[in-house]
Amino acid sequence: MASVQPELVPAPEMGAGIGLKPQHYRSVLDSREEGLWAEVHPENYMTAGGPRLAWLEAIRQEHPLSLHGVALSLGGADRPDRAHLTRLRALADRYQPALMSEHLAWCAHDGTYFGDLFPTPYTQAQLDRFCAHVDETQDALGRKILIENPSIYLPLKSEMSEQAFLAEAVRRTGCGLLLDVNNVFVTSWNLGQDPYSYIDDVPGEAVGEIHLAGHEQDENLGDQLLIDTHGAPVIDDVWKLYDYTIRKIGTKPTLIERDSNLPPFDQLMLERGRAQDVLEAADG
């Protein structure tokens, strides 16, 4: 088996993709939409066997694949879990994804896995540690990964901006960025900042993928706090920010993330088609 390409540049056929859910396996497999690709959480495929793996194998033959990890806890206090890295490498070797990514966040500590993305203080000390974790991950995987900016609900005392933290991580580790435009919107809203100036700060050449998703208002705090639920359509303000982003940094493979209140495939593909249109218009 050939070693995994360390390229950050995505396969040229990657336009707009969708987060792959079991309910849509058959439809995605059968779809011949130009530019369509699929993204999964590799953790959901770390099983001994079973139909999920067989579906992924089949879909991988038809569409580019992205492995978007949620459990490495790169922003944590502890080194990446070695057993988890080994499983991740095995999946990458088997499915040869076009892209692999993780988060600027943490989700495990002291033997407990929390299954959510917690915030990281943007300090020099934490930056050193985060970069060491990214280095270790990229060494274990034998390839570069993309790092996603999180949605922030609770601002932490920090020494630099999130953009500066990410830019420095890119410079030190050679990692790329997964720019989640919805997370930029949610974080900026929650912190009272300007999402457009956030986009202006992003080193565009390092971005290898974009995420779009829907968010909702907190049930107690209303519009004072937006929550990145992946449970609703992308809102118009996020589409506008996406247009701006593409004009600013060029076309990038773009994913529609939807994890709850899953719509029928055709409806999800309409939303995905809107991103594909933006990409094709920008390329044309």
Distance CA 62, CA 227 (A): 34
Which H/E stretch holds residue 27? helix 25-30
164 binds another protein (CB under 8 A): no
Closest to 33 (Cα-Cα) out of 284, 280, 282, 283: 280
Neighbours of 22 (CB within 10 A): 11
Shortest separation between residue 221's beta carbon and another protein, angstroms: 6
Distance CA 65, CA 14 (A): 9
Shortest separation between residue 229's beta carbon and another protein, angstroms: 9
Q: Give me 114's structure tokens.
A: 């929390």
123 binds another protein (CB under 8 A): yes
109 binds another protein (CB under 8 A): yes
**For residue 63, which phi and psi values (nearest 5 degrees)?**
-140, 150
153 binds another protein (CB under 8 A): yes
Among 114, 201, 237, 261, binds another protein (CB under 8 A): 114
Q: Which amino acid is at 191?
A: L
Beta-carbon contacts of residue 154 (< 8 Å; ≥ 6 apart): 119
Give the three-state DSSP class for 2: coil
Q: Give me 240's structure tokens.
A: 């506008």
Residue 104 or 177 with smaller CB distance to another protein = 104
Site string for another protein, 209-248 (x = CB under 8 A): ---------x-xx---x-x---------------------
Part in contact with another protein (CB under 8 A); list of ranges 112-120, 160-168, 173-181, 236-244: 112-120
**For residue 196, which phi and psi values (nearest 5 degrees)?**
-70, -35
> Which position has the token pair 């919805």?
182
**How deeply is 9 buried, as exposed, middle or buried, from its count of CB atoms within 10 A (0-12, 13-18, 19+)?**
exposed
Among 113, 139, 142, 264, binds another protein (CB under 8 A): 113
111 binds another protein (CB under 8 A): yes
Under rule CB under 8 A, which residues in 124-143 are in contact with another protein?
125-126, 129
Residue 129 or 144 with smaller CB distance to another protein = 129
121 binds another protein (CB under 8 A): yes
Residue 203 or 227 with smaller CB distance to another protein = 227
**For residue 164, which phi and psi values (nearest 5 degrees)?**
-65, -40
48 binds another protein (CB under 8 A): yes
82 binds another protein (CB under 8 A): no
Residue 58 or 281 with smaller CB distance to another protein = 58
Residues that bind another protein (CB under 8 A): 43-44, 46-54, 71-72, 76-77, 81, 84, 106, 108-116, 118, 121, 123, 125-126, 129, 153-157, 190, 218, 220-221, 225, 227
